[in-house]
Chains A and B, each alone.
Chain A
Amino acid sequence: EADIYQTPRYLVIGTGKKITLECSQTMGHDKMYWYQQDPGMELHLIHYSYGVNSTEKGDLSSESTVSRIRTEHFPLTLESARPSHTSQYLCASSGILGTSGRFQETQYFGPGTRLLVL
């Protein structure tokens, strides 16, 4: 069963368009993360959140922005997509033992969104 969801799974879009990648988790986790990854390559942390109304930038500079208005929801937005944004975006969450009964601080990942900007 999937406890962390990402939509869309695949997105092809033209340069200059605004896009929002959705991420939701049902595990009651307080921390959430966004990673950028070229397929099969190293993961780069671009944003994270410790809880509602908390957002921080990660190690890799990104033109994207995030928001955390609800615990379960952590959307990522690109105001003006460019070909250099073409990549896979992975969302993850971690936290204290919640409804899932899983380990504290283990990050669980969503299925990812593969973005292609033409």
Chain B
Amino acid sequence: AQKVTQAQTEISVVEKEDVTLDCVYETRDTTYYLFWYKQPPSGELVFLIRRNSFDEQNEISGRYSWNFQKSTSSFNFTITASQVVDSAVYFCALQSNNAGNMLTFGGGTRLMVKP
């Protein structure tokens, strides 16, 4: 069985602070993919990143960075110098062949960035 845990249900920061959203996953597969999606108040899910299990290199995209560590089964997401527009619910998700390539989502972390 697959599982994704986002232990932080809600985080509140002040603008310009850095914030890290945690994601821990469980799978028995050796080949899998990890995702982060952003859901702003308007409701749509916006794809942010996809990483495969063979690539542990950290990735940076502007103010966003991702830290993938297989040893701890974690795929954490950091926003540097947060902005009010970053306020949203963020979902981590796991996909593997043995689960029919379906996404297993975490429960989401609601991030509130205050001015």
Which A residues contact B (CB, under 8 angstroms)? Answer: 31, 39-43, 45, 48, 88, 90, 92, 94, 103, 105-112, 114
B44 close to A42 (CB less than 8 A): no
Among A43, A90, A111, which residue has its beta carbon within 8 angstroms of that of B42?
A111
Which B residues contact A (CB, under 8 angstroms)? Answer: 33, 35, 37, 39, 42-47, 50, 89, 91, 95, 101-103, 105-108, 110
B102 close to A106 (CB less than 8 A): no
Q: Known: A40-B110, A41-B108, A42-B108. Contact between A48 and B44, CB under 8 A?
A: no
Q: A40-B110, A94-B101, A103-B50 are in contact. List 20 more A-B contacts (CB 8 A).
A: A31-B101, A39-B43, A40-B89, A40-B108, A42-B105, A42-B106, A42-B107, A42-B108, A43-B91, A48-B102, A90-B43, A90-B44, A105-B101, A107-B103, A108-B47, A109-B46, A109-B47, A110-B44, A111-B43, A111-B44
Q: Known: A40-B108, A42-B108, A43-B91. Contact between A88 and B103, CB under 8 A?
A: no
B47 close to A88 (CB less than 8 A): no
The smallest C-beta distance from B109 to any residue of chain A, in angstroms, reads 10
Q: Which residues of chain A have C-beta atoms less than 8 A from B37's C-beta?
A: 109
B101 close to A112 (CB less than 8 A): no
B45 close to A45 (CB less than 8 A): no
The smallest C-beta distance from A17 to any residue of chain B, in angstroms, reads 22
B101 close to A40 (CB less than 8 A): no
A109 close to B33 (CB less than 8 A): no
24 contacts between A and B (CB under 8 A): A40-B39, A40-B108, A40-B110, A42-B105, A42-B106, A42-B108, A43-B45, A43-B91, A45-B103, A48-B102, A90-B44, A92-B45, A105-B33, A105-B95, A106-B35, A106-B47, A106-B50, A107-B103, A108-B47, A109-B44, A109-B46, A109-B47, A110-B44, A111-B42
Taken together as a complex, chains A and B put the C-alpha atoms of A81 and B103 apart, in Å, by 27
Q: Which residues of chain A have C-beta atoms less than 8 A from B50's C-beta?
A: 103, 106
A88 close to B43 (CB less than 8 A): yes
Taken together as a complex, chains A and B put the C-alpha atoms of A110 and B95 apart, in Å, by 19
Q: Which residues of chain B have C-beta atoms less than 8 A from A109's C-beta?
A: 37, 44-47
Q: Which residues of chain B have C-beta atoms less than 8 A from A112's C-beta?
A: 43-44
